[in-house]
Structure 1
Amino acid sequence: MDSSELSEYLTLRQVSELLKIPPNILRNWDKSGTLKTIRIGEKKIQRYKKEDVIKFLEQQ
């Protein structure tokens, strides 16, 4: 995955700061399906699709 593809994804910390909510709430939302993460690479690193976060914000 190259750097342009990585820019399409956000970390837990980035989304937490953007939405101004604690990371634990985001983890709960991932489990409940409210705002899901995806797993990237061999280490299965959790990331949020930027487009999913934007859609979530538009619905609020």
Structure 2
Amino acid sequence: MNLPLDPMMLLSVVNMNLRDRYPSLAEFCAAENVDQADLKKRLAAIDYYYEADSNQFR
């Protein structure tokens, strides 16, 4: 998956996929061939962190 470079667009795309298609971040990253640590780092840069309970970045 080609993820957007813009952090806010990235947040939107990832959260939409987590909401609609994947029950966890790990499954999203595995299915879409996305480096989980890199994704978390990119979103942490704009103060968004993954919450497993809600399965989204907040």
More strand by share: 1
Shorter-chain TM-score: which interval?
0.3 to 0.5
- Larger radius of gyration between Structure 1 and Structure 2: 1
Relative to the length of structure 1, the TM-score reads 0.35
